[in-house]
Structure 1
Amino acid sequence: MSKMSTEPVRHALNGPTMGTRWSALFFAQTGFDPEPVRAAMQAAVDEVDGQMSTWNPDSDLMRLNAAPVGVWVAAPDRLREVLQRGLEIGRASGGAFDIGMGDAVTAWGFGPEAAAPDRIHAAMTAGRVPAHEAFEIGETSVRKLVPVDIDLNGIAKGYGVDRLANTLQCHGIKAGLVGIDGEMRALGLRPGQKAWTIAVEAPDSERRVPHSILTLQDAAVATSGDYRHWVDVQGRRLSHTMDPGRGAPMLTSPASVTVVARSCVEADAWATALMVLGADRGAPLARKHGLDALFLLRDDDGSTRGVGVGRLFSEEPAAIASAGER
């Protein structure tokens, strides 16, 4: 038998989801059929999208948004799980991560409808209750305690990545790299006992280039930034990250925040929370919760500097190696 016949075969799968694409990379023995895995992964992300999309008026999330205050609404397990995680991280972040910003997201044109001045005014003048105080989650249903529109765009992709990872594991695949639009999760090690290599993107709207390189094993990474999705208002570019205190896009924020955590749902939500808080307030909170986080900040001269928290990102900005220096 030749040596090549016993070496693991590389499989790269992908498909559409949430307005972008999911991907999976793993190795399996010769003769392994990846099609059942592909189908199961597509079904997993389709389920997440079908339950949590704000673009689909028939999604479970939109049914909940349309329900009157105080009325219990049946909600599938996965939606309730994501709502619960969102509320927990909202509480832990002091409201910096708030899933109850759906009205503001829509008003400013980051949803399926164009921005509208009357909705912007309403979002900015609304009396807001933090989402973690606005819901009651039961065993099979959810109810709103105050008027609120939920938006899960800051957490659903991360959850979708975790579902991709779980699907791999259910098919007996213990090592792989899965992702949705830059949110990634690594399982185990590559052949040769090597960690998975992932680039942290530089906050550049004109091109996609790496800022630094991570090597991960059994961990997830997510980045929130101001350089991919924005609106221009009176000549000023505003990012899609909402300030819960204003009901409007952040006026000042890091260029990006990258978080490494055990699960991608955690990394995704915390990356948004730390974008809202900024490095001065966010770094101590990340440290308190044991997160590895990298804040990329723009200086007045246009250069970018990093502020790191945790073992992966040294506390000293100078210790963060850029990809170009490796």
Structure 2
Amino acid sequence: MQISFQAFGTYNQIMAEVDCLPLLEECRSLCEAIEAKFSAFQPTSAIAEISAQAGIRPVAIDEETFFMLKRAQDFSNLSKGAFDITIRPATALWGIGKKGDFVPDAGDLEQLHELVNYKGLVLDQKNGTAMLQLAGQQIDLGGIAKGYAADRARDHLIQNGCSSALINFGGNIATIREKQNGESWQIGVQNPLAKRGEFIGTVSLTDQTMVTSGVNERFFIRDGKRYHHILDPRTCRPADSSLLSVTVVGNRSIDMDALSTALFVLGPDEGAKLAKQTGCHALFILTNREIFATDGFTKMLKRKV
């Protein structure tokens, strides 16, 4: 039994091996509510209001919004800015996937460096507020919203007695226990240079989540150079980290969502250090086609022959 729906700018699917269609529909509604609440494109969302009041005043937020912003801030600190939800001015300027082969002027990118700075987000838990310190700063939770939604859907299913399910939100995978036949869920690791559905191998997941960040989803080529959508907040340009993709496996999808982006921006050496620090398993596919993985991921991966 399964449902499919559009949200977070992508195709989403939940498949359960038990009869629980009403629960699946509740998960769909839950995801739609999360998208509406945390989208940077919804003018009535708290996120949009925080951006609109940047440099002016703090904005009152609820506990859920505080949690999202604090979790994002935690990963910004852990990655030393390789993951940064204040990246929105840069993603808007580039408009990858919307502006053809447009490449911003170096001067315009230089002006963004002051705005793209996670340290400019001030969270006040006592007063329940959030504020961006500089006018022009903007927040985009697109780097963790799908992961958060996958976690919420997974938790909702478990709390209501669903004993076996697979959640796939645009490549953010979350699993509930095993398949009903007792086998682990077999999840393919996308080949970043091939069409969707072509894998370099598979991993077995049970009560785990897997997220991939790569150059194959949104990009354009200009003068022989590939410009992809994963921007380095430190340069406001597409990350130049010698990587085609990063796949991470862990326990919470919101964390893996942030980490897959951070590890991609950091590159294989610094990325592997952060993976070890946070306890996730990671696989890096380099631009020279080499594959590098942490010990944990190496043990999980079954390579395609």
Mapped contact 1:195–1:217 kept (Cα < 8 A): yes
Aligned pair partner of 2:55 in 57, 69, 78? 69
- Maintained 8 Å contact 1:308/1:320: no
Q: 2: distance between equivalents of 1:234 and 1:124?
A: 22
Whole-angstrom distance in 1 between the partners of 2:102 and 2:125: 35
Deviates more, 1:62-71 or 1:158-167: 62-71
> With structure 1 as the length reference, what TM-score do the two structures score?
0.84
**Counterpart selection for 1:38 from 10, 14, 24:** 24
Q: 1:54 touches 1:111 (CA, 8 Å); kept in 2?
A: no
Structure 1 position 160 matched with structure 2 position 149: yes
Q: Following superposition of structure 1 onto structure 2, how do residues 1-326 of structure 1 map, counting pairs within 5 Å?
A: 11-28=1-18, 32=19, 34=21, 36-69=22-55, 71-110=57-96, 121-128=107-114, 130-138=117-125, 140-147=128-135, 148-299=137-288, 304-314=289-299, 321-323=302-304, 325=305
Q: How many matched pairs? A: 302
Q: Which has the higher contact order (CA 8 A, sep 6+)?
A: 2
Shift of 1:175: 2.4
Q: CA deviation at 1:73?
A: 1.0
Give the gaps of 5 or more residues in structure 1: 1-10
What secondary structure does 2:269 align onto?
helix
Rounded Cα–Cα distance in structure 2 between residues aligned with 1:271 and 1:63: 28
Cα offset for 1:155?
1.1
Is the alpha carbon distance of 1:70 and 1:261 closer, same or farther for their aligned partners in structure 2, counting shifts above 3 Å?
A: farther
In structure 2, runs of 5+ residues without a counterpart are none
CA 296–231 in structure 1, closer or farther in 2 if over 3 Å, else same: same
Larger Rg: 1
Correspondence for 1:5: none
- Pairwise CA distance, 1:37: 1.3
Aligned-partner Cα distance in 2 for 1:170–1:120: 51
- Counterparts in 2 of 1:150 and 1:141: CA distance versus 1, 3 Å: same
Question: Percent identity at matched positions?
Answer: 25
Task: Summarize deviations over 1:298-320 as a string: whole Å, max 9, x none.
Answer: 21xxxx22110142325xxxx95
Equivalent-residue separation in structure 1 for 2:277 and 2:100 (angstroms): 39
Q: Secondary structure in 2 aligned to 1:231?
A: strand
Runs of 4+ in 1 over 4 A off after TM superposition: 111-120
Q: CA RMSD in A?
A: 2.4
Q: Check 1:213–1:141 CA distance in 2 against 1; reply closer, same or farther (3 A cut).
A: same
Aligned-partner Cα distance in 2 for 1:114–1:152: 24
Q: Structure 1 residues 144-153 or 258-267, which shifts more?
A: 144-153
Q: How far has the Cα of 1:251 moved from its partner?
A: 3.1
Structure 2 SS opposite 1:50: helix
- CA shift, 1:57, in A, is 2.9
Question: Given the two structures, how large is their TM-score scaled by the length of structure 2?
Answer: 0.90
